[in-house]
Chain A
Amino acid sequence: MTPTTLSDAELLRLMVAGDESAFAALYDEHQGAVYRFALLMSGTANIAEEVTQEVFLFLVRESHRYDPGRGSLPNYLYGVARNYVLRSFKRERPYVPLLEDMEETQEISSTRFLAAEDPLDDYSRNEVIKLVRRAVLTLPERYREVVVLCDFQELSCAEAAAALDCPIGTINSRLHRGHAMLVKKLRSVAKVDAKSLDSQALRCFA
């Protein structure tokens, strides 16, 4: 049986026993999610890589802290990553310039934002991606982490609650509030006419 066909728990057990291939398999399986979470939270590839490295180092050195009864390994890794991201914020905050307020991007036209619907328009799509990512980065951390986990990492509220170690109700309220804040930021640049909206909605639910 190759390491890649084993469950996380089995891989973890092998890793604790010193099996390097098991650790490599765990890393290959989960590093992408951890990296993307850190990248969306921090907006910086350097921090994301640093956090990814710290998370898996923590897994190697403190593997006994993982309790399978409290959640899956990915959720546990998200929780560790979140702590390292917040730690990096505290460390980097004095040196990182504040993100530009979303109002400064209001010159981006609504047609450019909605052009994300057009998969052929790569430039506009890149603008949309940039816009959304910047909007996410302006969220307060407690809302940002929930939005990133539930919307971008596609975790359920229960999984996010396990990862962040807080009640589901808190996750729901933070997610709702985070969406409202994001929408408020994006609404200023996304002036959509009702006509195109109808067509989008119909297309969406068709």
Chain B
Amino acid sequence: MNCRDFEMNVRALVRTELLDGAQRDLLLGHAKTCLQCTDRLAAEQGLVNGVGAVVAELSEQKASAHVRSALLTAFREQTSTMADNRVIPMPLKVVRHWRLEAAAAAILILVSIAAVLWIYSRSPTEKQVALTAPSLPVTAETPSAPAVGNNVIPEPATANHSRSRHRAARRNSMTNEEVTEFYPLMDGVDLDSLEAVQAVRVELPASALNDLGLQTDRGTPTGPIKADVLLGQDGFARAIRFVR
């Protein structure tokens, strides 16, 4: 037994832990012969006694009653909060559905607005197209190609099903119009030889008739006069007819 062994076992010696009689006697015998280990044993013994005294002193120490009451109050509040939270999932679910529906409605509204804007943004062009509805390219495979002299403006070859109702009404009104035959605007132009022409509805001042070399009388309106101008692929006007 040396001081190191004593140090390793002094705690167990004082606390009577896991030591048999022979080992205890060895440790106590060493303590009697070693002043340093005697002091060490005394200090350890004093520590154990002191700890025991503190434990005994504090054994009945507890938190005061107001801590308990405060905790019980907090527990009740927590319980009530939890009870409220248990009810929350249902409304949350409803809110989540409501949000989905609102999002869907918003998307629908946006799409509708975009569609309306698209339609109105196309209106001037379409108006022109509608006015020039018979002005679609006249191709060989188009049986209703606008022959010069036809009194009826042919239906467009490619009807757009999405066109609005007022365009259809306008088309109907156009079919009731009286038109003259096409007058060539350029000498020597054979209108039948044109592969593709485009008719553009225009409004001309009545004085323009005179410029074209047409005779006007008093019965000729002084306001704008409607006319369809046939344009060739090069964009030059080839012929004109008047509409009443």
Q: Which of B44-52, B98-106, B161-169, B182-190 participates in binding chain A?
A: B44-52
Tell whether A9 is near chain B: CB-to-CB under 8 Å: no
List the 3 shortest-distance A-B pairs measured between CB atoms, nearest first. Answer: A192-B42, A132-B50, A187-B43
Contact among A129, A131, A152, A201 for B45, CB-based, below 8 A:
A201
A194–B62 contact, CB under 8 A? no
Interface size class of B (residues with CB under 8 A): 35 or more
The A interface, classified by DSSP as helix, strand, loop or mixed, is: helix
* B241 partner residues in chain A, CB cutoff 8 A: none
Known: A31-B62, A39-B61, A198-B32. A114 touches B83 (CB 8 A): no
B63–A201 contact, CB under 8 A? no
Tell whether A106 is near chain B: CB-to-CB under 8 Å: no
* B151 partner residues in chain A, CB cutoff 8 A: none
The B interface, classified by DSSP as helix, strand, loop or mixed, is: helix
A192–B46 contact, CB under 8 A? yes
Residues of B bordering A, CB below 8 Å = 11, 14, 16, 24, 28, 31-32, 35, 38-47, 49-51, 53-55, 57-58, 61-64, 67-68, 70-72, 74-76, 78-79, 82-83
Number of interface residues of A (CB under 8 A): 53
Distance between Cα atoms of A18 and B77 in the complex (Å): 10
The chain B residue with its CB closest to the CB of A194 is B38
Tell whether A125 is near chain B: CB-to-CB under 8 Å: yes
Tell whether A11 is near chain B: CB-to-CB under 8 Å: no
Question: CB-CB contacts of A160-204 with B at 8 A, as 1s and 0s?
Answer: 000000000000000010010011101100111010011011001
* B78 partner residues in chain A, CB cutoff 8 A: 60-61
